[in-house]
Amino acid sequence: MQKRLLGKNGLEVSALGFGCMGMSFGYGPPKDTQEMITMLRTAVDRGITFFDTAEVYGPFTNEELVGEALAPVRDQVVIATKFGFDTSVDPRSTAGGGPVLNSRPEHIKEVAEASLKRLRTDVIDLFYQHRVDPDVPIEDVAGAVKDLIQEGKVKYFGLSEAGIQTVRRAHAVQAVACVQNEYSLWFRRPEEGLLQTLEELGIGLVPYSPLGKGFLTGKIGGDATFESNDFRSVLPRFAPDAIKANQGLVDLLGSIATEKNATPAQVALAWLLAQKTWIVPIPGTTRLERLEENIGAVAVDLTTDDLYKIETAANRITVQGNRYPEKLEQMTGR
């Protein structure tokens, strides 16, 4: 597995990471713990060194899973987790049914202590603010993480779904190693200034949902339905009409995949890897064959002509449907 650097301060990870959320949260009922432990350890055996979780995934259960799975190989891996939500508040009890943000410095430090225990480690390699809290100055957030770094409890600071000015302000207080934002062929907003800012500042990008929450694999048809415990059931982009309207993107990936003797998912990941050398996608899976498929994307060589062809064709496709309900969309890009 190739390696890539996130930021200027030495955070080196595998070119492809692993998003662990779906093992215990978001995509239906939690999967079998022992099977997921085996999956994560197999990923390490295959060369993946970068694993992403968060306290809110579950909540807590995903961190516990990752901690148990990676404890025997802790010195070989980079574990990223996140703070920024108030997990004591049931989202169903709030106006609009959305989660409650909390990035007060004292809360950040409490979350760090709890995450360290669940992850069975004495240091968090990468600590992200999960969503920007408009009630707490980002300088205070960065300062709290800086304290944790100085105490040896955290190694690197990250931001998730942060806007450009927030990134600049945070970086001025404590170096930001990377920003984790959604980015793929079906969501390209980071190209509207964020990528340029990250390049200027020497900050890496970690695209989550690099396969469009499964859509870009070509396995989700227009008649797809989702259970109530699968969060895609409330995402506008997964409504039947939107799935059918966006099929052209999957068809494009399929045509390139045929030429490359690859799969649509591999082409989608290879496209991301080809954008910048400091981009590290974190696809998630609960199936071994999908893990092998994702890893195979690193070997897919997209030429300049291939990239031009994809770009030209993608520019003719207007993706339909918002990616989140309004309440969650308002938490991005701040």
82: Cβ–Cβ under 8 A, 6 or more apart, which residues?
A: 53, 54, 55, 56, 127, 128, 129, 130, 160
Q: What is the Cα–Cα distance from 127 to 124, expressed in whole angstroms?
A: 6
How many Å apart are CA 265 and CA 297, to the nearest integer?
A: 8
| Phi, psi angle pair for 165, to nearest 5° | -65, -35
Cβ–Cβ contacts within 10 Å for residue 26, how many?
17
- Where are the alpha helices (H) located in the chain, listed in sequence order? 33-45, 61-70, 105-118, 138-150, 164-173, 194-201, 240-245, 247-260, 264-275, 288-296, 304-314, 326-329
Point out the residues that are catalytic: 57
The first and second tokens of residue 97, run together, are 């049914």
CA 48 to chain centre: 15
Distance (Å, whole) CA 4 – CA 9: 12
User: Which residues, in sequence order, are bridge partners of residue 180?
Assistant: 160
**For residue 314, with 0-12 CB atoms within 10 Å meaning exposed, 13-18 middle and 19 or more buried, which class applies?**
middle
Residue 195 identity: L
